[in-house]
Amino acid sequence: MQNSVDPTSTKMDVSNQIIHDQILKDANLPESPNARAAIIKWFSSRHMRRYIAGQMNWQGAPTGDPSEYQINGELRLSLRHIIDYLHRALTDETLPTQYQIMDVQLTSSPVEVILNRCRLFDKWSHRKAIRQQVEGNLVEGVDFREIFSITLKDDMRLVELLTPRALDVEGKMMVHCIGDGTYDDRIGGKSDYHQFSLLDTDGNPHCTFEVHHGKLLQCHGRSHAPPGQKYSTQVSQIITGMAWEFNDNDVNRTGLIKDRHGKTCFIFDLPEVFDGDLNLESVTILESLCKVRVITGNLNLKDSAVRHLERLEEVHGDAHFCVGIFCSRPIRVGGKTVWNQPRQTKGKFMPGP
């Protein structure tokens, strides 16, 4: 009786042939011998070996000849896309350093590390292409100017937008209404209005600010949402460093609130102990108090979208809960335990001491 062929070992045997004949033969490999060798070695020893063991979608050999094993078309395109990235990462010194890679580093890098770099590179390339499409050639000092008076985390920059073209770029990149003429009469200090943008090291915007007479009127992330939690530190640095005032009643527009000492807090990243009154009445952009355990003042959640109090243990002052909040642990209000077990509230006002 003839022994059956082990598919795994068969695939392993023909792996290098597949790499060379089906993938690397007509791929965009770099001219540098070291770079070429690094890509081939990585595919042979890392990438292909992982999939050969059964995780890759292979098409069987119709004649039973192992050399006729094929990689399906979708995967073939994916592998060539990875090669294109590796080509640039190994040879293009103009790329940001986080996307570059050395040949010695590549051959020892796990599959997941390289694939993640490739995904991040794709996002960067996409945003760069969009920016080039809508931006053209914005001129620093003409269309925008950097604010050098403050230093931001991760080398991000605060710039003031000075021309209608700069507003158009900001609006298209951030998908909100600052462009297309809407705010053209509010730039460069006209009527003392100023428009600012928070940029990363690639020049991509992540938050747009409008300020009037030193007061923060608007603070928006993408699509009019509050700034992402990832940039809460920079937003706080900007507001503190620029000494901008803002109204606690504008939480839905800014995502910001102050404690009793005037410290700026981002509602998606409130501290475990919030020192002061936490007034979130009618706030619709927050569904959970996340890590907040203690509130030293009053808590007002009337008509808010907050539905979860995962860690809240104590409110020193009064508490007004909206309907449908789920309390996962006992909560003390004004020194008295008001719930001894998980339950949903019924929109009740509870006075403190």
Structurally, how many domains does the chain consist of? 3
Residue 332 located in a structural domain: yes
Q: Residues of the chain with pLDDT > 70: what percent?
A: 74
pLDDT computed for residue 11 by the predictor: 46
CATH number for position 215: 3.40.630
pLDDT at residue 331 tops 50: yes
Lowest model confidence (mean pLDDT) among 121-130, 146-155, 171-180, 266-275: 121-130
Q: What is the pLDDT of residues 70-94, one digit of tens each?
A: 444 445 556 667 777 887 888 888 8
Q: What's the one-letter identity of residue 336?
A: K
Most trustworthy range by pLDDT among 42-56, 86-100, 264-278, 327-341? 264-278
Q: Residues of the chain with pLDDT > 90: what percent?
A: 21
| C-alpha–C-alpha distance, residues 252 and 227, integer Å | 11
Verify that 242 and 319 share a domain, yes or no: no
Verify that 201 and 302 share a domain, yes or no: no
pLDDT computed for residue 304 by the predictor: 86
pLDDT computed for residue 260 by the predictor: 92
Beta strands in 165-291 (DSSP E): 193-199, 205-212, 215-220, 256-258, 264-266, 273-274, 278-279
Residue 304 located in a structural domain: yes
Q: What average pLDDT does the structure give for the chain?
A: 76
Q: What share of the chain is helix, strand, coil (3-state, %, to 5)?
A: 40, 20, 40
pLDDT computed for residue 209 by the predictor: 95
pLDDT computed for residue 207 by the predictor: 94
Residue 200's domain comprises 143-258
pLDDT: is 273 or 169 the higher one? 273
Residue 265 located in a structural domain: no
Verify that 147 and 211 share a domain, yes or no: yes
Verify that 276 and 218 share a domain, yes or no: no
- Confidence at 199, pLDDT banded by 50, 70, 90: very high
How large is the average pLDDT for residues 88-105?
82
pLDDT computed for residue 95 by the predictor: 84
Who's near 259: CB < 8 A, 6+ residues apart? 265, 274, 275, 276
Most trustworthy range by pLDDT among 168-172, 180-184, 205-209, 309-313? 205-209
Most trustworthy range by pLDDT among 35-39, 123-127, 267-271, 290-294? 290-294
- Confidence at 28, pLDDT banded by 50, 70, 90: low
Sign of the C-alpha dihedral computed for residues 217, 219, 224 and 226 taken in this order:
negative
Q: Which domain-ending residue is among 115, 134, 153?
A: 134
How large is the average pLDDT for residues 121-129?
77
pLDDT computed for residue 78 by the predictor: 66
- Phi and psi torsions of 50, nearest 5°: -60, -45
pTM above 0.75, yes or no: no
Residue 28 located in a structural domain: yes
Verify that 104 and 171 share a domain, yes or no: no
Residue 101 located in a structural domain: yes
